[in-house]
Each structure stands twice: as structure tokens, then as C-alpha cells.
Amino acid sequence: MQEKKELSSSLTRSNVFHNFLCCLVVFLTCILIGISILIYVDIKKASIKTQIECQAEYLRNRSIIDESFDSIGEYKGTDDWCRSKIEILKGKIEYEAQERWNKLSGHRSYTICMRNRLIPDQNYINKVLLIEIVEFTKVSWSFWTYFARNERCKFYKDQLNCLESDAFKYCNGEDQIIENGSGDIEGSGFTFDDSEDSNSDDLRKLSKRSIENSNDDLYFDES
């Protein structure tokens, strides 16, 4: 009888110890996962910060200045890294813009026209890079500083909309818009409905909606 009690007590202690070890392993695993996540987030933030500093340096060298640059540290990386990163960003911005233009028109020659109109002088791409910097800028919880940053973003996005709107008009050949079912695509050109409802205000709305809907795609490359 005494032996059974000792055996039972031994098994109980063994189970308690086993459960303790299991809990300890789970606890340590959770800690390691948490530390790994924190390290990843820190590396990611550092990568984005370095990229933003690179973008700001690139724009400063082209006499493009914004007050948000004051809160961005000096870029301390190599010129080769920054130059390579900017070229990658330019390529992504151009690709995403062409995808959007192609969806709007459904015609490759139209997309080529838009690209040739907006991309070569770099003004369009520089505006996108500037918007990314302003959006990245940290602001205090003050309503006015938050409002001011959003107003600057809106101002630059409006400029971007105007660039696209003017390119739409140029590539259309007239101050009219692409409307579903109201235009025929023939050869390499476009023929549009010239009813009274087709006007430059509608064109601007179409261009603005295109930019706003694609705003989330203008993300940072962190590779």
C-alpha cells in the first residue's frame, strides 16, 4: 500500500515537472518569436528611414524642397546604394502608372503617349517621391500639425492630378474624356463622343480618381 502511494506521488511529481517544462518551452518560444518580430520591425523601419533619407537627398540635389525635409535625418549611405534605390523606385512608379493608364484606355499606344508625355522630364516621378516623403513624416498629435501635413499631401497630389489631366488632354488630341461606351478606338488614335457633357472638368475628375484609387500602390521598396 505504501509502495502504491509512493509510486502515485512520484508520478504526480513527474507530471508536474513535465507540465512545467512544457509551459517553460512555450513561454521561451513566445519570447523568441516576440524578439524576432521586434528585430524585424526595427530592421524594416531602419530600411524605410534610410530610403526616405535617400529620396530627400535626391530631391534636394534637384532643388526640390519641402518643410518635411527638416525632420528627416541626413543620408549617410553610399551614393551607389542611393542611386540604385532611386532607379528601382523610378521603375516601379513608371510601371504602376502605365498599368493604371492601360486600364483606363485599354489601348497600348495611348499608354505609350502618356508615358512619353510624363516620364522623360522626371517631374511626375519626383512628385510621387515627394508625396511619399511627406506622408512618411512624423507629426505630433496636435490637430494643426496633422492637418498641415495632410494639406501638403493634398497640394502635391493635386499637382500630380494636373500633370495627368494635361497628359490626358494631349494624348486625346482634344479637351474631352474617355467615357465607357462613348468612344471608338481605331488604329493608333481615339475618337470620342463630343457631346456637351464631355468637358475638361470631367477629365480632371477622371484623372484625379485614377490617382486617388492607386495611391496605396505607391509603396516603399524595402529590398
101: in domain = yes
Q: Is residue 37 part of a domain?
A: no
pTM as predicted = 0.61
Q: Say if 45 falls within a structural domain.
A: no
Give the confidence band of 5 by pLDDT, cuts at 50, 70, 90. Answer: low
- Please check the confidence at residue 71 and state whether its pLDDT lies above 70: yes
**Domain limits for position 177:** 91-217
103, part of any domain: yes
- The span from the CA of 213 to the CA of 116, in Å, is 22
Residue 67 lies in a domain: no
Given a cut of 90, whether residue 59 has pLDDT beyond it is yes
Q: What is the mean pLDDT of residues 34-60?
A: 88
What's the CA gap between 211 and 142, in Å, rounded?
28
Note whether residue 21 is domain-resident: no
pLDDT for position 2: 52
The structural domain count of the chain equals 1
Over residues 129-152, the mean pLDDT reads 77
